[in-house]
Amino acid sequence: MIFYSLDEILLIVAAAIALDWIIGDPKWPTHPVIWIGRLIRFLERKLRGEDEPGNAGASRVRAAGIVLTVVTLTISFASMYLLVALAQFVHPWAGYAVSAWYISTTIAVKGLKEAAMLVYQPLALGRLAEARKYVGYIVGRDTDKLNEPEAVRATVETVAENTVDAFVSPIVMALIGGAPLAMMYRAANTLDSMVGYRNERYIHFGWCSARTDDVLNYAPARLTGVLLTVSSLFQRGLSAARALRAVRRFAKLHPSPNSGIPESAVAGALGIELGGLNYYFGRPSERARMGWPVRALEPADILRTIRLLYTASILMMVGVLSVWFFVH
């Protein structure tokens, strides 16, 4: 805790979770992620210009990507550090407020729910074309030919995977290092989403960004698996035992060292199968299948996954407040 005692940072984090539940992701142009994205694009242009793949050696491009990662993370951390320090200098409560607010901008429980509900609502009314449009907002795969089960699968996978990125990881970082470390994590995650691709342009330039995101998510992803498994105990018809078995059996099959854990936990809990055939720019891509298809996918699985997300966030809140009560 850079500026605060343990009991102070615990209350700040609890306040940030509550702010996200109530307000959600602020829809205004000064959102930190927007500025981080602009910084990444600016640095990318400066570090590699408009070079097309193959115009520079792989080692030089990889070195430029390392610089991009280090500079972006440093600026994000330092900017937040200075902002919180200034607020704290003005008044301790200003420091608390700034910390809680900016930590809340690094998490997106309500935002995930709203994005998933944009898919669920038209599906529930039989408007598949509209649902496909909203699935396209949250996934990178082709969506124009998705049938109903595939639209459900894409949405469930996104909510499950982002339980790590959009909630557990930034909260863990905030508990360790307050708003500065939480914002640094959000910068790392934004880097991964913008340049961490294994395509021709970014395979080398985005290597460091992708690996950094993997490292930062490693422990939170495993904590998320526990939270989702425990959360399934609170929903009728879900199986915590099957969720645990699915994580042990399927998580290692996912190409990501972290994403397979929440996805397989959700698949096991719900009794559905995730993964399978996706299309990217018209090209088929077979992903590892996770979970056992006890039953077919249905739109209500989106609601069940949202409930798991919220239950996991409640469990995290209870854990934070319990530790505060113990140390206070």
**In the chain, domain spans:** 6-327
Using the 8-state DSSP alphabet, how is residue 165 labeled? I
- CB count within 10 Å of CB 250 equals 24
Helix (H) or strand (E) holding 303: helix 300-327
Residue 5, Cα to own-chain centre: how many angstroms?
27
How far, in Å, CA of 313 to CA of 164, rounded? 11
Best CA proximity match to 193, nearest among 166, 220, 175, 219:
166
- DSSP β-bridge partners for residue 284: 279
pLDDT for res 166: 96
pLDDT for res 200: 82
Residue 306: C-alpha distances to residues 96, 109, 303 (Å) = 30, 9, 5
Residue given tokens 């469990």 in the structure block: 315
How far, in Å, CA of 316 to CA of 328, rounded? 18
The string of DSSP letters for 172-216 reads: HHHHHHHHHHHHHHHHHHHHHHHH---STTTTTTTHHHHHHHHHH
What Rg, from alpha-carbon coordinates, does the chain have? 20
How far, in Å, CA of 195 to CA of 295, rounded? 37
How far, in Å, CA of 223 to CA of 319, rounded? 12
Residue given tokens 């997300």 in the structure block: 309
- DSSP β-bridge partners for residue 285: 278
Pair 225, 247: CB distance under 8 Å: yes
How far, in Å, CA of 322 to CA of 272, rounded? 34
Question: Residues with Cβ < 8 Å from 75, sequence gap 6 or more?
Answer: 39, 187
Sequential pLDDT tens for the chain (328 residues): 457 899 999 999 999 999 999 998 776 666 899 999 999 999 999 998 655 555 568 889 999 999 999 999 999 999 999 999 999 999 999 999 999 999 999 999 999 999 999 999 999 999 999 999 999 999 988 899 899 999 999 999 999 999 999 999 999 999 999 999 999 999 999 999 999 888 888 899 999 999 999 999 999 999 999 999 999 999 999 999 999 999 999 999 998 999 999 999 999 999 999 999 998 878 888 889 999 999 999 999 999 999 999 999 999 999 999 999 998 7
How far, in Å, CA of 205 to CA of 195, rounded? 7
How far, in Å, CA of 228 to CA of 309, rounded? 7
